[in-house]
Amino acid sequence: MTTCTLNSLPVPTPEVVGTANHREPIRIGVVVDASLGRGWLADLVRQIKEIAQAVADPVVLFEVGEALEAQKESWLFQLWRYFDGILFGPVQNSAASQLTDHRLEFISRGPDRVGNLNACSLSKAALDALRRSKADLIVQIGGPTCIQEMAGIAKYGVWWVPEFAAGASRARWFRAAQNNHGIFETLLKAYSGHEQQCRILRRSFAAADGVSLSRHLASRRRKISELVMAELIDFERSKARYLGTLEDRETGTVDDSDRDIASPPTNGELLRFFFSWAIRGLKRRIERCFWREHWFVAYRFHAGAPPASTHAMHDFHVLTSTRDRFYADPFSIEKDDKTYLFFEDYPFNKGKGLISYVQIDELGNCTKPEIVLERDYHLSYPHIFEHAGETYMVPESMEARRVDLYRALEFPGKWAFEKTLLDDISCVDPTVFFHNGKIWLFVAGVRSEQCINEELFLFYADSLWGEWTSHPANPIISDVRRARPAGRLFWHDGQIIRPAQDCSVSYGRAVTFNRIEVLSETQYRETPVSVIGPDWRAGNRGTHTFNQSQRLQTVDGRRLVRRYKDGSGLRPGAWSGEPASISAFFTVNRKADIEAAPRAESNELRLLKIDRQVDPYVNGLGR
């Protein structure tokens, strides 16, 4: 074992809500698999110091025995990993990849025998270093087993993030990408040494990157940091509460080595994978050249239950947009026996969302859309509701880093700013719900923009004009399949249902209905009960939002439309003529396209700029 001191520059830390001031910092021993990288480790140590305001000492690096040692990676896989790192790997900062003011203990070791992942332990010198540090807590990151010898060293035991060694992780990613597995799980467990099992402190499900191994591993490291930091902040707030609630946590094992161990790909397997990967990439490139994803809103008069499946959604009618904009995020409301539909209105020439509305009569006919709210920044998700005889709206305004409340002065067309509910916060899709004398505010994101599809946060207050309190269980959901809100909460058969987006495959791919079982100032629990995907209408590529009022149900989705010289890519009223896939491109009537396209040559420069604005919003904001 060697001990050395290294230098570093400050590493920026992510935004976290609810950081507390500490009188006496807790001491943490950090034990990390060396394959995770010193750059990431330096960032984690800095977060522990600046965000959790704790002392990380010592920092121990250990090498996990490679179960795949006897199965060498093929030369083609190694070559592919090299170029993947160049194309998609993070920019390395040599100064930031070091550690400063921390003793770095490096324990070089191998498995007891080839193929044995269960051999995971520290040397006597490393254990002695941990004892001398008098750490309150030891955090082990990596390794297929919890190093149980450390449990008696720290007062509060060991926290452990299970993670295979580098070679095994790479092989698992390849098999997952090969089989189109869309998510990966990250666990944070606690081991006290009193019993041969762990308690699960936190778990998170995030979208896997099916294209790049480098990006996927970066996402895994990000999730590890997020889980550890969130639990450290809660732990520091109340150590006594942590010990008191530990017995109530879900149980887990101290050994994760029984998980399926994937074998690295052969040269033949990698060639087949690369060929399909290249074909998919080429298809997307061609698709983006000739078509654009265009959002649309649909509605139906229906006062019954929400759709249990896409088969029950055949009677939705599309609200046709003009060629220079798209519609999304529909919310309906009834007032004075009239039905109104509010939605995000995105004019391409403005490059930002506005809030508009239409009135729908009993026959389903709509009035001309009218703009009711516009700001210098992007607006969407016009969550509209009634309270104490007034009508309010809370639109999404992540670009302004706040959540604002508006009140209708003259419904439906005149609105005034009322107050800011949450300030200096990056969040999306604010959703208000009144229950048990409290006002509950659900938002996604908060921690960073990378989490907007993965984490759901909850705040509560006694009134719309009161102070908002962060729920102690935040983030209450950490699952890309059901975190981000997809519409207002509603009651069905005496149960509270929360619509959420399933972004595991792509942003806005499906809506998951979740039954809320516990909603209080200290606890939150929900269970998924059903999902509606995109296949309720031909050519649809996603179901993104669901809302219902007394008479109307609304959804939105997106479809492929052709790009024209005017940049709209949409013929008025066209649906059935749009291609459902790239293969339809080769059978379209080019003469009809040319005749339908307006001849506005002076707009071409403007439309090039619009394309660059719209596509990142449609395809990049959510993922």
Q: Tens digits of per-residue pLDDT, 58-79?
A: 888 887 755 444 458 899 999 9
The beta strand positions in 450-551, using DSSP E, are 455-461, 469-470, 477-478, 490-492, 495-502, 510-519, 524-532, 540-548
Q: What is the pLDDT of residue 579?
A: 37
Residue 286 tokens read as 């061609």
pLDDT at residue 620 greater than cutoff 50 = no
CA 562 – CA 100 distance, rounded (Å): 55
Question: Which of these, 352, 298, 370, lies nearest to 553 by C-alpha position?
Answer: 298
**Element (H or E) spanning 218, and its range?**
helix 213-237
pLDDT band, very low/low/confident/very high, at 259 (cuts 50, 70, 90): low
Average predicted confidence (pLDDT) for the chain: 80
Answer yes or no: is pLDDT of 587 > 50.
no
Judged by average pLDDT, the poorest of 77-86, 97-106, 350-359, 412-421 is: 97-106
SS (H, E, C) 220-272: HHHHHHHHHHHHHHHHHHCHHHHHHHHHHCCEECCECCCCCCCCCCCHHHHHH
Q: Do 606 and 350 contact (CB within 8 A), yes or no? A: no
Q: What strand order describes the sheet that includes 510-519?
A: 490-492, 495-502, 510-519, 524-532
CA distance 488 to 293: 25
**What band does 241 get if pLDDT is binned at 50, 70 and 90?**
low
Q: Where are the domains of the chain?
A: 2-265, 292-620
pLDDT (0 to 100) of residue 355:
98
* Global confidence as pTM: 0.83
Q: How far is CA 500 from the centre of its chain?
A: 12
- Residue 447 and residue 475 in contact, taking contact as beta carbons nearer than 8 Å: yes
The H or E element containing residue 295 is strand 291-301
Q: Return the number of other C-beta atoms located less than 10 Å from residue 118's C-beta.
A: 15
State the architecture of 292-620 in CATH terms: 5 Propeller (2.115)
299-355 residue pLDDT tens: 999 867 888 778 788 889 999 888 889 999 999 999 999 999 999 999 999 999 999
Select from 21, 43, 45, 19 the least CA-distant residue to 31: 45
Q: What is the Cβ-side half-sphere exposure of residue 514, based on CA atoms within 13 angstroms?
A: 28
DSSP H helical segments within 13-165, as ranges?
Answer: 38-50, 75-88, 124-133
**586 has pLDDT over 60:** no
| CB-based burial label for 89 (10 Å; 0-12, 13-18, 19+) | middle
Concatenate the DSSP letters of all residues of 407-457 into one string. EEEETTTEEEEEEEEEES--EEEEEEEEETTEEEEEEEESS-GGGTTTEEE
Read off the pLDDT of each residue in 393-422 and give the average, rounded to a whole number: 96
CATH 1.10.1200 fits 2-265, yes or no: no
DSSP annotation of 588 reads S
The structure tokens 């920019």 sit at 91
Joined tokens for residue 288: 């983006």
- Mention every residue, 6+ apart, whose C-beta is less than 8 A from residue 605: none
Over residues 356-388, the pLDDT tens digits come to 999 999 888 899 999 999 999 999 999 999 999
The closest of 353, 327, 352, 332 to 342, measured between CA atoms, is 332
> Given pLDDT bands bounded at 50, 70 and 90, which one contains residue 24?
confident
Instruction: Categorise residue 170: left if φ over 0, alpha if ψ from -120 to 50, beta otherwise.
Output: alpha
Question: What does the longest C-alpha to C-alpha distance in the chain come to?
Answer: 81
What gap in Å lies between CA 102 and CA 293, rounded to an integer?
A: 50
CB environment 425-464: b (16+ within 10 A), e (fewer): bbbbbbbbbeeeebbbbbbbbbbeebbbbbbbbbbbeeeb
